[in-house]
Structure 1
Amino acid sequence: LVDASSSMVFEGKLARAKQLAAAFGVMGLLGAERVSAYCFNSSESAPERLAPCVGRASMMKLFRFMERVEGGGDEPVEAGIESSLKYHAGRGVAVVLSDFLTFGDVRRAFNLIFNAGLEVFAVQVLAPAEIDPDVTGDVRLVDSETSGNLDVSSAGDLLDLYQEYRVAYEGQLAVLSQQRSGRFVSISSEDRLEWVLFDLFRRRGWLR
């Protein structure tokens, strides 16, 4: 499941999510597993769907599907997960690739995945500027999906609070995943794809 909402367009997050989705899909196809894919971005339309496919011959179909995915839209990740699951049947692993930047209830979305007989593998993709913002003085923060804004007069104090919240939120996502027999990892969109797949994921036990 790939989050293609507006916030994912920032600093290559969507591009990295699509690459990782394709990589997971290829591993499933080569392992004789049934692979399906869903991409969501707009609350006004159904998610883009790749019907379940199997085998090496389906790899190009998977690649073409991911290439067609475009970013932009206001759908929160929890709503995108819920809408995607309406079209899914079968047990297995659900790889969710998103920045998880939402005001909504991610817990409910993870419950839906678990209750559907799926093990959630949540991959949070953040931009470098979201991991370590470089701002000083007075700033205006603008939500890329709702266009809401917030003026801040002391960026230094805000950054301390932001980092505390970011780390705590990542911990919350990890716990939500683990409580449902799943896994969680957070990466930067600038992390090398090879390092993520063959170093980080191996060390975390995602790949063997």
Structure 2
Amino acid sequence: MSSDHLLDPSWLARLERMQVASRRAASGSQAGKRRARQLGSSMEFADYRAYVPGDDLRQLDWNAYARSGKLFLKKYLDETELHVSLYLDCSRSMSYGQPSKMSLAAKIAAALGYLSLCHLDHVSVYAFDRQIVGSLRGLQGKGQSLRLLPFLAGLQPGGAGDFEQAVRSPGAVQGRPGISIVLSDFLFDGGYERAVSYLQAARQDVTLVQILSREELAPDYQGELRLIDSETAQAKEVSVTGALLADYQNSVQEYQRQLASFAYGRGISYVAVQPEQPLETILFSVLRQAGVIR
């Protein structure tokens, strides 16, 4: 996947005005508190970004305007900061679908990472199957998107997934409180509960984004089939009937309900999306309504 295809350039201004929501910040906790958006809380210059309608005119850099004829806002470091960690499931099951679940995960991560970098948050990205197979850590500033996007575009599906084993890998979790967003189908033989508990114990504000294709949710199969597990390569002969498909769909829906209920019980966010949905809808409607971004 080309990094040019991860983000639509026409969305960049909209993304720059959004930010990842933190329940810790909203509750007034000192841990994970957001960097202030007003100018002057700290006079250490950090970055520029282009002006978009609605921005505070007091933050404009008129010297830059005099030089270039373009409007820019200066951004300054504050004493508070947010650490955003993005976990991308790169197990083999994520290659399923057209477009694939993994391609959607990379695009969502690109958007969330970009808008976080624009707000000077610290951004770390971890790709995993049964272990961390690639990572970028501690990115800060919009210029770091030049590292983030090629990294995400180059990810490839690997082997069987084990979420708990992956997050317990050395260096897989930030040492400071922050936000951890997991992009996965959550089809792990070992489950997801202990991994989420581990992240929360590390003082992470967790969001689960489950990606399942429409064919996985409502397959249109019939007759005698040989089904092969994409991760274990185990095969099973199946006679597909209407009753079997109904049972399957009920099982998938029940699994999603259990995952949502688990998240609710732990005080974390859960969002279900599909690769067939327009990315613009997912970003500016689904994730926003779920309170993942604002």
The answer to whether TM tops 0.5 is yes
Aligned to 1:183: 269
Aligned to 1:82: 168
User: 1:84: how far off?
Assistant: 7.0
Tell me: CA distance 1:87–1:116, structure 2 relative to 1, closer, same or farther (3 Å).
closer
Any idea what SS the aligned residue of 1:38 has? strand
Tell me: CA distance 1:63–1:154, structure 2 relative to 1, closer, same or farther (3 Å).
closer
Aligned to 2:57: none
Give the AA of the match of 2:216.
E
Aligned to 1:92: 178
Give the AA of the match of 1:22.
A
Measure the CA separation in 1 of the matches of 2:170 and 2:238: 37
CA contact (8 A) 2:221 2:240 kept: no
- For the pair 1:165 / 2:251, whether they are aligned, the reply is yes
- For the pair 1:107 / 2:193, whether they are aligned, the reply is yes
Aligned to 2:114: 26
Give the AA of the match of 2:230.
S
Q: Which has the higher contact order (CA 8 A, sep 6+)?
A: 1
- For the pair 1:121 / 2:207, whether they are aligned, the reply is yes
Aligned to 2:238: 152
Aligned to 1:36: 124
Give the AA of the match of 1:134.
D
Measure the CA separation in 1 of the matches of 2:134 and 2:170: 9
Aligned to 1:204: 290
User: 1:23: how far off?
Assistant: 0.9
CA shift digits 1:78-105 (9 cap, x unpaired): 4333337645322111110011112212
Tell me: CA distance 1:116–1:157, structure 2 relative to 1, closer, same or farther (3 Å).
same
Q: TM-score, normalised by structure 1?
A: 0.92
Aligned to 1:14: 102
Which residues of structure 2 form unaligned runs of 5+?
1-86
Aligned to 1:132: 218
Measure the CA separation in 1 of the matches of 2:274 and 2:108: 12
Of Structure 1 and Structure 2, the greater helix share is in 1
Tell me: CA distance 1:85–1:95, structure 2 relative to 1, closer, same or farther (3 Å).
farther
Tell me: CA distance 1:125–1:47, structure 2 relative to 1, closer, same or farther (3 Å).
same
Q: What is the CA RMSD across the aligned residues, in angstroms?
A: 1.7
Q: How many residues align?
A: 206
Give the AA of the match of 2:250.
E
CA contact (8 A) 2:173 2:202 kept: no
Tell me: CA distance 1:139–1:71, structure 2 relative to 1, closer, same or farther (3 Å).
same
Measure the CA separation in 2 of the matches of 1:84 and 1:182: 24
Any idea what SS the aligned residue of 2:223 has? coil
Aligned to 2:70: none
Tell me: CA distance 1:160–1:85, structure 2 relative to 1, closer, same or farther (3 Å).
farther
Give the AA of the match of 1:37.
V
Give the AA of the match of 1:192.
P
Q: TM-score, normalised by structure 2?
A: 0.66
Aligned to 2:148: 62
User: 1:178: how far off?
Assistant: 2.2
Aligned to 1:53: 139
